[in-house]
Structure 1
């Protein structure tokens, strides 16, 4: 047999003097094949380099055994951890993962959905740009199960797994705003998505709970680079420029909340350059618990997001939806964890 030819079930069967049906049952774990015969078949299939024909299997089963995963940016540490969790969980269930990246571009998102439709995936896990909800309608109309992650699409009846961002911010701010904190600034990303809105809502909820007037605090927007297809989701230099123009020895927040830990890097520099110190003059609360957060001076207090749990829960939910298409919609928001370090005193 030429090595360039694809090894088939018939090839394995002929080498062992068995029927192709017996070989198929053994390799798919079916009953009525003795363990000794199964072991012999598996060993010979491995020796010959037999690989199951997924296309042929899909024609029989009606499934491709592929899950589509649409995310905004894999360099975001939350999404990087999410990808690993999704791939691990899908692999354990016998599925492969088709990863598509949008960089928060409407055009890329529409292209990704069309690719998934052409491929005929069994289900989709998606982080939406939230600019055009109708983009996902093609999957819905094709009866392809969809679970939204992190950002939901209202009115579409899709399953959802996300983080309770509003409560995470509100609880963290109240906890780190010790006596003396009267001015709190939020350095947020200029992106119109639900997670940004939830952080702002959590910030304002915390102000109300602390009895701090909203006019004494600020929500500052850092220009986003994510829609330009940048290799990194955030950059500290824009946060630094904005903070450096506003923070002075006589005009500074008692507590600065940053929408991600990259922004905190810029804030640290701006605070230091105007002669102030973290946390003595300005306490800093980050978001995301990026790997460098614990190694800053002082170490950054931040909010750790349950990326692994979110990925695992999303895959489990999607597999249940595939098995039970008519089950009621499920919406889950996982709690985040405050990691207290020196930056908040």
Structure 2
């Protein structure tokens, strides 16, 4: 039921009708302690009579915040973030929070605006994938008491809670698998952003190669120009990786395997190889990163590293809920969740 003029009934309306405080009404409806059964029954009866529906703005009259999680991500075209958003939103909804999503497009300027927007919106807390161009925007949130959890990329100087994928382990497992399949020369096809997730994957590649006693000549890490640093971030495009792969195919000697930083890059690589009459995995093995929905349907199906997006999102939301509640957590300050190697036909060589 709505009031005259179409406005929905609020906690304040119920409080006025019963001559109670908004705090008392809120506690009665949420089942909190300190409210007598008679008062609780009166409040619930009035709420039912007027058709009251709880919402974050009404709850904020009591909590002092908008009962909202701020979620800041860098690139909405990344399927990993799509899964994260879904996981975090579900966990937030279970606890009566809504989600305010902001995209920075890998821009420090946009990131500063995002932090300012969260402050103006009086969010209960924030989950942030930082651009890693500086910690100032998120330091400001912490300084005014907004609980903040970092996701996927850390800013160690802040000392905030952090959860992400163990990308170093992912890069290591992908490379070690290629080596186990017989590859001795392996190159990496990676994005051109100076961020820890990419650096960690490359570090894992180098660790596996070093342990196997294999060389990494100049040009072993090929960069794909997928971003405009001074404009908006571009979505991942197989076309960019395709162009880089064509240059690689002009080399005098091809590598045995390519570890791609995401499955879209592997898609571009597939096309370049096909145009040159080369077959995967007979002529060159390919390993992706992300296990995107199309990866199992490529021909041959793509061996790739599956990222724990759902688990990372759930942990991030739980960490933020703990921070908002002000309780002490038994969880470590920094958490890295292991990815999983999914073996398919693109590395199906005889070992």
Q: Does the TM-score normalized on the shorter chain lie above 0.5?
A: yes
Equivalent residue, structure 2, for 1:44? 49
Name the structure 2 match of 1:223: 225
SS of 1:291's partner is coil
Name the residue aligned to 1:303: 305
Question: Which of 24, 30, 36 in structure 2 is aligned with 1:32?
Answer: 36
* Residue number in structure 1 paired with 2:161: 159
Q: CA RMSD in A?
A: 2.7
Q: Is it true that 1:79 corresponds to 2:81 in the alignment? A: yes
1:42 & 1:7 partners in 2: Cα distance? 9
Inter-CA distance 11–215: structure 2 relative to 1 (3 Å threshold): closer
1:332 equivalent in alignment to 2:335:
yes
User: CA shift at 1:38, angstroms?
Assistant: 7.2
What residue in structure 1 maps to residue 9 of structure 2?
A: 7
CA offset at residue 303 of structure 1? 0.4
Q: Shift of residue 144 of structure 1?
A: 1.3
Residue 132 of structure 2 aligns to a residue whose secondary structure is coil
Q: Could you tell me which of 239, 244, 260 is aligned with 1:258?
A: 260
Q: Deviations over 1:93-114 (max 9, x none)?
A: 1211111100101110000001
Task: Give the direction of change, closer, same or farther, for the CA distance of 1:54–1:223 in structure 2 (3 Å limit).
Answer: closer
Contact in 2 for aligned 1:249/1:276 (Cα 8 Å): no
Aligned to 2:296: 294
Establish whether residue 129 from structure 1 lines up as the match of residue 134 from structure 2. no
CA distance in 2, matches of 1:120, 1:10: 20
Q: Distance in 2 between matches of 1:38 and 1:5?
A: 20
CA distance in 1: counterparts of 2:7 and 2:316, whole angstroms: 39
Q: Distance in 1 between matches of 2:113 and 2:16?
A: 45
Give the one of 97, 104, 110 matched to 1:108.
110
Per the normalisation by structure 2, the TM-score is 0.87
Q: Aligned pair in 2 of structure 1 residues 108, 205: CA closer, same or farther (>3 Å)?
A: same
Contact 1:254 1:282 in 2 (8 A): yes
Aligned partner of residue 177 in structure 1, secondary structure:
helix
Matches within 5 A, 1:89-238: 89-178=91-180, 180-215=182-217, 218-225=220-227, 227=229, 228-230=231-233, 232=235, 234-238=236-240
Output one character per residue of 1:276-295: Cα deviation in whole Å (capped at 9) or x when no partner. Answer: 11000100000001110000
How far 1:74 moved relative to its partner? 2.1
| Secondary structure of 1:148 counterpart | strand
2-structure distance, mates of 1:263, 1:318: 33
Asked if the contact 1:236/1:265 (under 8 Å) is kept, the reply is: yes
Q: Report the Cα distance in structure 2 between the residues aligned to 1:128 and 1:230, rounded to whole angstroms.
A: 14
Structure 1 position 243 matched with structure 2 position 248: no
**Does the CA-based 8 Å contact 2:26-2:62 persist in structure 1?**
no
Comparing 182-191 with 138-147, greater Cα deviation is found at 138-147
CA contact (8 A) 1:184 1:218 kept: yes
Contact 1:23 1:41 in 2 (8 A): no
Which moves more between the two structures, 234-243 or 216-225?
216-225
> How far is 1:177 from its partner?
2.1
Write out per-residue CA displacement over residues 293-320 of structure 1, whole angstroms, 9 at most, x where no aligned residue: 0000000000010111001001111111
